Structure 1
Amino acid sequence: MTSHLRNQLMEGRAVLPRVGSVVQLETQHPAYAVLDPDGSPVESVTPYLRDLALNDNSPATSRSYANDLLRWFRFLWLLNVTWDKATEGEVAVIVGWLRTAPNPQRRRTRPDAPQPGSVNQRTGKRYLKAGYAPATINHALTVVGSFYDFHRDLGNGPLVNPVPVSEARRRALAHRNPAEAVPAFRRSRLRQRVPATQPRAIPDAMWDEFFAAMNHDRDRAAVLLYVSSGARASELLGVTPADVDWPAQIVYVVSKGTKLREPGGRKAGATRGGVLGSGAGAAARTRTREEHWLGEVEGIDSTLTFLRAKQAEAARLVKRPVADLGIPRPRPDSPGT
């Protein structure tokens, strides 16, 4: 029975019961806990998450690791295997399941939603597949492996980590010069191959069309700040007026990684460009004199001039007639249109 269940799980044909949960605690060390089906904390996970928090990892990292461990323990509970008796066989089961089972977060309810894994005919980008990504599987292996490394150092659990590791890679990286490129090594067993992808980009024509669709200088200035700074969306959404150094034209953001206040870009004038838009010119300039930042107007005007020129150029390109090259066009009712 257990062998049959393992095969069914590995082929993604068995449902993994969604028992147990991850809950947020009132403490900081740890900030999260994994509960078993009875609602009690999993004793072996709590000290690991506490150690994770004490090593200056963010609460978001603790939550992510807790969810990966909850998935691991769901497999162990279903297979009736205690955590300290787990072997590479159980790890192979969870890898097989992650490779074949559908990802609930990829489920779409709209009938006209694009098929998972299909290509967007307009942008040329591929939608996410229905299952779990290779990077997600590798992350789960990393979490489970570090969990067993932690307990092995404490003298608990199995002496051999159930998650395979590449000893050649570990030995080479232990004495690697940080200034040198990371050498290529054969992947460890069960590790997935992560394809090399190009950075996400938007074609120039679509960028011009996007700019032309915005009808407010404030929106264009905000987008220009987002694109030019390279900051994360979550970092820019947390910006307050106190984070803008108007004389130096610098916007400060709180970094997601370091949690420090760091310069995010030199486009503060662009963000204030919305205040000096064409609809409020005279009143806004009076405000600049009252608030003693009139000296920035010249730089902001240059930014607005650039934005308006970009908008005009985009509008001109949109109105330009399309040359007929004799290429058949897809019918409106064809797939992907």
Structure 2
Amino acid sequence: MPGEQRPGRDMKSFVLPETGQLLETDDPWEPVQLLDSFGRPVEPAAVYFKDLMAADSSVLTPRSYGMDLLRWWRFLWALGIEWDRATREDARDFMLWMKLGDKPVRVHWRHRDKDPADIPRPSRVGRPAPGSPNPVTGKPSIGRKYAPRTRAHCETVLRSFYDFHLDRNSGSLLVNPFPLVRNRRSARANAHRNPEDDHKKERTGLYRPTVPQEIPRRIPEEKYTEVFAGLRSHRDRALLAFWVATGARAEELLTATQGGAIVGQQTIGVTRKGTRDYQELPATPDAFVWLRLYQEEAWKKGVPRGRRHPLWWTLRRPWRPLEYDAARMMFNRANDLLGANWTLHDLRHTASFMMLDDPDMPPVYVQHILGHKHLATLDIYNRPGRDDVIAAGLAHHARMEQRRKTQPVRRDPEYNPASLNVLFGGGF
């Protein structure tokens, strides 16, 4: 019940059990299911997912929200707490564990029946320590702790989940265990805001962490060439060329059909992530050259051919449309050759920088190509990046050193003896 005191628990040694699962289905009415350890659907989560789909959310939204709900349910199952009896202390301990505890290590299915001491550990020779900056890109590697962005997303999802069930009077739920900050519990956000002022980015949740502002990174041209050379197939080269040329999101380019790639107009059609609108994007001639090489090779192997068929397919039988996870692993393999940790989204940032660096390219056109709703979103690309700042600082030190070498050495001024005689009465 709300207000009841939980017995003291030691969260320092807590380990999140790997019970239950989030099952992805092929049913458009129910794209994901949250299942307990017995394979039974969790009804409160199923109702919430159905509401998300009715609100015209993307099919990826229930999966993203479901991962946070699965993490919360595993926490409740481990402590024997019913979802509608969770208190603020439970939410506090959960968010504190996400902040200070280590992420659970997922055990491969081949090793689940083995003793933990017998499980081989992957070799990390030559790799940076978890969470440390990558020596090639400067981006921090994935750490052992949950990132602030992950914790913030989880807190928002769980708070909205309990708000939804409070409105429905589900179970014995009386209060939301994930409250708002104290000065916001009885009022809506920006209730007395001047309409002429911009919205403030407020920490609405009491346990919501501060998310640092990330500066987008571009892949330098010489490093992009090395990554491109490490790709294994014409399909992968065509994908990389289109990502950098169009600035499309990784999953957007994978929605293209064979009829959407129009060589004569030098455009490729994609389905936008948020609005799900169909949009044609301009690309480079090189991208279409690699695409043609890939298609000729794929059609000879028996890949389905037709205007309405997907453009990107797997390289081996059985032929399946290429999905995001497979494309991500393809790019990671090329990254490993350089010891880098760039992501597919960095290709979109690279394309954005290249378009904005062109003085003859109006920013409003860049906004439309990237699919941003507001032109102000491009402001993040006006901030100097890490490489630019370091290069500018080194150039400054080089100029100062050159100036010291070229300027004549200043000598201390000598006193005029005649002036000293007048001042002190002679004798100098």
TM-score computed with the length of structure 2 as normaliser: 0.55
CA distance in 2, matches of 1:89, 1:129: 27
> Does residue 1:243 correspond to 2:260, yes or no?
yes
8 A contact 1:33–1:46 mirrored in 2: yes
CA distance in 1, matches of 2:78, 2:279: 47
Residue in structure 1 matched with residue 289 of structure 2 by the alignment: 273
8 A contact 1:222–1:270 mirrored in 2: no
Q: How does 1:203-218 map to 2 (within 5 A)?
A: 203-207=220-224
> Does residue 1:262 correspond to 2:276, yes or no?
no
CA distance in 1, matches of 2:47, 2:228: 51
Q: How does 1:115-130 map to 2 (within 5 A)?
A: 115-130=129-144
What is the identity percentage for the equivalent residue pairs of Structure 1 and Structure 2?
38
Residue in structure 1 matched with residue 35 of structure 2 by the alignment: 35
Residue in structure 1 matched with residue 69 of structure 2 by the alignment: 69
CA distance in 1, matches of 2:277, 2:85: 42
Note the alpha carbon deviations across 1:10-49, whole angstroms, 9 max, x for none.
x3x2222222222245643332222222332222222111
Residue in structure 1 matched with residue 178 of structure 2 by the alignment: 163
Paired AA for residue 122 in structure 2: T
Select the residue among 159, 163, 166 that pairs with 1:152.
Answer: 166
In the TM superposition, what is the alpha-carbon distance from 1:176 to its structure 2 partner?
Answer: 6.0
CA distance in 2, matches of 1:238, 1:145: 32
In the TM superposition, what is the alpha-carbon distance from 1:192 to its structure 2 partner?
Answer: 0.9
Select the residue among 210, 230, 234 that pairs with 1:193.
Answer: 210
> Does residue 1:136 correspond to 2:144, yes or no?
no
Paired AA for residue 231 in structure 1: A
8 A contact 1:244–1:268 mirrored in 2: no
Note the alpha carbon deviations across 1:148-184, whole angstroms, 9 max, x for none.
1111111224332111214549634467688853314
Paired AA for residue 161 in structure 1: N
Residue in structure 2 matched with residue 298 of structure 1 by the alignment: none
Residue in structure 2 matched with residue 114 of structure 1 by the alignment: 128
Residue in structure 2 matched with residue 280 of structure 1 by the alignment: none
Paired AA for residue 254 in structure 1: T
Of 181-190 and 59-68, more deviation after overlay is shown by 181-190
TM-score computed with the length of structure 1 as normaliser: 0.69
Q: 1:105/1:55 Cα in 2 relative to 1: closer, same or farther (>3 Å)? A: farther
Quote the RMSD (CA, aligned, Å): 3.4
> Does residue 1:3 correspond to 2:17, yes or no?
no
User: The residue matched to 2:175 in structure 1 has which SS?
Assistant: coil
Residue in structure 2 matched with residue 49 of structure 1 by the alignment: 49
Note the alpha carbon deviations across 1:111-161, whole angstroms, 9 max, x for none.
323211112222222212211111111111112111111111112243321
8 A contact 2:256–2:269 mirrored in 1: yes
Of 129-138 and 158-167, more deviation after overlay is shown by 158-167
CA distance in 1, matches of 2:232, 2:80: 61
Note the alpha carbon deviations across 1:200-256, whole angstroms, 9 max, x for none.
212344346556778999977654432131112222234333112333322111222
Q: 1:114/1:155 Cα in 2 relative to 1: closer, same or farther (>3 Å)? A: same
CA distance in 2, matches of 1:198, 1:250: 29
Note the alpha carbon deviations across 1:62-120, whole angstroms, 9 max, x for none.
12222221221222222222222211111111112211232247997223232111122
Note the alpha carbon deviations across 1:251-309, whole angstroms, 9 max, x for none.
1112222333212x2115333334899xxxxxxxxxxxxxxxxxxxxxxxxxxxxxxxx
Residue in structure 2 matched with residue 318 of structure 1 by the alignment: none
Q: 1:253/1:176 Cα in 2 relative to 1: closer, same or farther (>3 Å)? A: farther
Of 145-154 and 79-88, more deviation after overlay is shown by 79-88
Gaps of 5+ in 1: 278-324, 326-337
CA distance in 2, matches of 1:200, 1:180: 30
8 A contact 2:155–2:205 mirrored in 1: no
8 A contact 2:156–2:208 mirrored in 1: no
8 A contact 1:98–1:131 mirrored in 2: yes
Paired AA for residue 130 in structure 1: R
User: The residue matched to 1:273 in structure 2 has which SS?
Assistant: helix
Q: 1:81/1:236 Cα in 2 relative to 1: closer, same or farther (>3 Å)? A: same
Q: 1:93/1:229 Cα in 2 relative to 1: closer, same or farther (>3 Å)? A: same
Paired AA for residue 260 in structure 1: D
Of 265-274 and 139-148, more deviation after overlay is shown by 265-274
In the TM superposition, what is the alpha-carbon distance from 1:3 to its structure 2 partner?
Answer: 3.5
CA distance in 2, matches of 1:42, 1:87: 20
8 A contact 2:151–2:209 mirrored in 1: yes
CA distance in 2, matches of 1:38, 1:208: 50
Q: Rg bigger for which structure?
A: 2
8 A contact 2:178–2:205 mirrored in 1: no
8 A contact 2:245–2:284 mirrored in 1: no
